[in-house]
Amino acid sequence: MSGYDNIGERAADRILAVRKTFGVFSDIADRAGVSRADVCDWYENDEEFKLAVDSERERAVDVAEKAVMTNVEAGDLKAAYFVLSTIGKDRGWTEKDNGGSTSDFTYNITYETLVDTPRAVVDGQIVHLDDAHPELTE
């Protein structure tokens, strides 16, 4: 009897095999003791299994988002740049190309700008340390 026939008869076991795999088919196959092809077949033909895999993949995105935000809170400028250029684009934080801007209010963000420009947090906002806030440069 193949692993597919054995675990295939127990839908609950297939769904349990998905837990903590981030929806990676080869990891699910290893946990279930079946081939990756079997997992692909389950995904295509078993709606409940597909929902479990899709949910687990969403959990993977949640974990990744949390890691990025933890790095942003720790002051990691690469993480901040990533957030601003993706999630922050609705607030105008987009990269400007030579053909023009994507909105009426666009910041020209580069990693060098974030790294080389002295800045501080004032009233919850990141401000550049220039003539606007001389008290912060001392």
Q: What is the pLDDT of residues 15-64, one digit of tens each?
A: 999 999 999 999 999 999 999 999 999 999 999 999 999 999 999 999 99
Q: pLDDT over 70 for what percent of the chain? A: 62
Which of 102, 82, 106, 80 shows the shortest CA–CA distance to 93? 106
The single-letter code of the amino acid at 39 is: V
Estimate the crossing angle of helix 25-32 against helix 36-45, to 10 degrees.
110
Cα–Cα distance, 13 to 26 (Å, whole number): 16
- Number of other CB atoms surrounding residue 102 within 10 Å: 12
In degrees, rounded to 5, the angle at the alpha carbon of residue 90 between the alpha carbons of residues 112 and 66 is 70
| Residues near 4 by beta carbon (within 8 Å), at least 6 away in sequence | 34, 35, 38, 41
